[in-house]
Structure 1
Amino acid sequence: MSSFERGILSEHDLKKTGNKVVYGIMVLFIALMVFSMLYPILMTMFNGLKSNQEVNSFPPHFFPKEWHFNNLKEGLNYIDLLMFLKNTFFIFVGNMVITLVVLGMSSFSISRMNVPGKKVFYFFFLMTLFIPAASYMIPNFVNLKELGLLNQYAAFWLPAGANTFYFLLLKNFFDGLHPEIFEAARIDGASEPRSFFTIAVPLSVPIFATLAIFIFSTAWNDWFWPSLVMHSEDKYTLATAIYKYVINVKALNNNIKFAILFMVSVPPILVFLLFQKFIMRGVSLSAVKG
């Protein structure tokens, strides 16, 4: 008897012709899906290692005829990736802290404290998910301008404290924690903030790790909002710098463009591969309960 867990189809099921056909179609679709995901990444990498003449040649070919690894060095010398990476990382850390403190404590209050009308607050936040993000982008910009926060990192941190999706994820995760733990802490004289930081936060590592991946992905990929609120080059995020100084520059050789794009695509892939187990675990633990 096999020591592996039984899957959807057993060895006996696979002996049937109909099941073999269905299983083969499933494998084919999975292979096509994997190919469609890996092809752009590999094409970017190989184009970044070709000569510029080879990149622009027709018909195109997948693998380089000659490997030009110095393209990576030229890409690093063309743009100060470390400075833009530092700005992006600074925004990510600030957004993560705001999410932990503001959204974490507010969702904990709605979930675990007897807040008057907390169901009204919950459904109000839930309704805001149906409002398109583009409809409140201009009001956010005007508010930040009136507050004098343009060209400041606070232009990212302040909106991070009003993310309804993250709030609902945290709230529903806290709903799943055993209330007896917090009742025992209250009997021992622990305040609500202390219960949150010493009990709720350590128990909520999966959901906060999941939110860290989401926040990192947003900070890494967003270029439009940073281009609106940041007006000095030394504060651009990596995505904004790539858009302005790489993609929109016609004088830059295409092979160097691909080399830069490949280098900036590697870190988020590594982050996802290292922490992917937290995504499904955190989302499933914080699923909306009926």
Structure 2
Amino acid sequence: MSTELLVAETSTSALLTGDAASSRRSRRRPGGAPQTAGGRIRLAIRHVVMYAAALIFMIPLIYAFFSALKPNGEMFSMPPSLFGSEIKWSNFAEVFEYGPFWTYIGNSLLVAVLGTLVVLVVSTTAGYAFGRLRWKGRDLVFVAFLATLMVPAEVLVIPMFQVMQWFQWVNTYQALILPFAFGAFGTFLMRQFFRGIPFELEEAARVDGAGPVRTFLRIILPLSKSAVAVLAVFTFLSFWNSYLWPLIVTVDYDTLGTLPIGLATFSGLTGTRWDLQMAAAIISMIPTTLLVIILQKHLVKGIAMAGLGGR
């Protein structure tokens, strides 16, 4: 009888202790610290500072958007004003009548998407070879490969153009995509991420009979989605905003011109249509903005875990 009483008392005390612990956890913040008045004030201050900083960074975008709705003659009116005398939504439609703007958008999408896919394939495979495989001279080759990051792209323009002439690729999509598909940045980023994956996973796969290719495709790559998303966004933005190289290697702008070249067509001998140029710039930001919003979760995680996050 005493044993049953002892068990009952122990169960009751355990329940009470659990209730008390649950009550204490409910008063804690997600981070684990007690939700005191001072903690709530500091949290509120942090949010206010972050929202203020975000607003400051958004001011140029907001001004550009409303400038795209102004008449062309009021773009540089003094004193500056956010709104014009009228709101001209027709500026966004007139952009597509001013030149082959749909062609520019299509070319930019094609070059950016294909270029991003090529870079992802090259960077992930090269990063796996440099970060996970053991072969003679690996570190020396990687240092030499990484040294190419110190060479400015402008210095490489003339040699790359000569190579494109040798291959007879001038004024082609290959010339817009392939020269920048083998950069060292993506390889370095993926190598840093791959080196953080436990080697025990690879050893377990090897014990099960998986070779390097199967291990890469079935284990390493699925664990690297966040790093791949970061590289995809950076690469897409690089191809999308590229101006100097398409300007040099393209001859027929109306057929193979990209968006940055299209934005320059609003400036001519008769003046600059600043209203249409602003509207075109806002349109050109839509794909990249959507891409960042869609991959935001992976971007934050990837930057925190990869080499750019101080790992």
Q: What residue is the counterpart of 2:127 in the other structure?
A: 107
Q: What residue is the counterpart of 1:12 in the other structure?
A: 38
Matching residue's letter, 1:184: A
Matching residue's letter, 1:286: A
1:107-135 per-residue CA deviation (whole Å, 9 max, x = no partner) reads 21122222111111222223332233332
Matching residue's letter, 1:213: V
- Of the two structures, which has the highest relative contact order with CA contacts closer than 8 Å and spacing of 6 or more? 1
Q: What residue is the counterpart of 1:82 in the other structure?
A: 102
Whole-angstrom distance in 2 between the partners of 1:230 and 1:51: 33
Query: Does 2:288 match 1:262?
Result: no
Query: Does 2:63 match 1:43?
Result: yes
Conservation of the 8 A alpha-carbon contact between 1:47 and 1:255 = yes
Asked which structure has the greater CA Rg, the reply is 2
Of 55, 65, 80, which aligns to 1:60?
Answer: 80
Query: Does 2:260 match 1:239?
Result: yes
**3-state SS in 2 of match to 1:204:** helix
Matching residue's letter, 2:37: E
For residue 195 of structure 1, report the CA deviation from its aligned partner: 2.4
Bigger drift between 234-243 and 59-68 goes to 59-68
Conservation of the 8 A alpha-carbon contact between 1:48 and 1:258 = yes
Bigger drift between 218-227 and 142-151 goes to 142-151
Question: Following superposition of structure 1 onto structure 2, how do residues 201-212 of structure 1 map, counting pairs within 5 Å?
Answer: 201-212=221-232
Conservation of the 8 A alpha-carbon contact between 1:45 and 1:262 = yes
Q: Is there any run of 5+ residues in structure 2 with no aligned partner, and where?
A: 1-25
Alpha carbons of 1:285 and 1:29: their partners in 2 closer, same or farther (altered >3 Å)?
closer
For residue 61 of structure 1, report the CA deviation from its aligned partner: 1.1
**3-state SS in 2 of match to 1:116:** coil
Of 219, 233, 251, which aligns to 1:213?
Answer: 233
Q: What residue is the counterpart of 1:122 in the other structure?
A: 142
Q: What residue is the counterpart of 1:173 in the other structure?
A: 193
Q: What residue is the counterpart of 1:275 in the other structure?
A: 295
For residue 222 of structure 1, report the CA deviation from its aligned partner: 1.2
Matching residue's letter, 1:236: G
Q: Is there any run of 5+ residues in structure 1 with no aligned partner, and where?
A: none
Conservation of the 8 A alpha-carbon contact between 1:112 and 1:175 = yes
Whole-angstrom distance in 2 between the partners of 1:161 and 1:50: 40
For residue 223 of structure 1, report the CA deviation from its aligned partner: 0.9
Matching residue's letter, 1:67: I
Conservation of the 8 A alpha-carbon contact between 2:95 and 2:101 = no
Whole-angstrom distance in 2 between the partners of 1:262 and 1:208: 27
1:30-64 per-residue CA deviation (whole Å, 9 max, x = no partner) reads 56643442222111111211223333433231123
| TM-score for the superposition, normalised by structure 1 | 0.83
Query: May I ask how many residue pairs the two structures share in their alignment?
Result: 282
Whole-angstrom distance in 1 between the partners of 2:284 and 2:181: 27
Query: Does 2:210 match 1:190?
Result: yes
Q: CA RMSD in A?
A: 3.0
1:236-281 per-residue CA deviation (whole Å, 9 max, x = no partner) reads 11112212x1245644533222222222223322322332332332
1:138-182 per-residue CA deviation (whole Å, 9 max, x = no partner) reads 222222222222222222432333211111111111111222333
Whole-angstrom distance in 2 between the partners of 1:57 and 1:79: 27
